[in-house]
């Protein structure tokens, strides 16, 4: 479903990318989108943890509850 989604600077999604931030599997489509468009920031929930990683140059943040981000 993200194959034709245009590039954005900030991408917010409920679930995470495939195999990142916790025990949930995540979605290949989100991973492919990040690899194709390289947004600056991806924020996701669902994992119930606060964590951060990088996929290439993209900063991927798992947010739980609330979080203050500087962009």
User: pLDDT (tens digit, 9 = 90+) per residue, 14-42?
Assistant: 888 876 766 667 788 898 999 999 999 99
53 strand-pairing partners: 60
pLDDT at residue 54 tops 70: yes
Q: What integer best gives the mean pLDDT of the chain?
A: 87
Rg (CA), the chain: 11
């Amino acid at each position: 479903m993200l194959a034709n989604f245009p590039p954005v600077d900030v991408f917010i999604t409920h679930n995470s990318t495939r195999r990142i931030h916790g025990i949930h599997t995540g979605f290949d489509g989100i991973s492919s989108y990040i690899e194709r468009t390289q947004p600056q920031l991806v924020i996701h929930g669902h994992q119930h943890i606060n964590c951060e990683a990088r996929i290439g140059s993209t900063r991927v943040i798992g947010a739980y509850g609330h979080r203050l981000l500087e962009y």
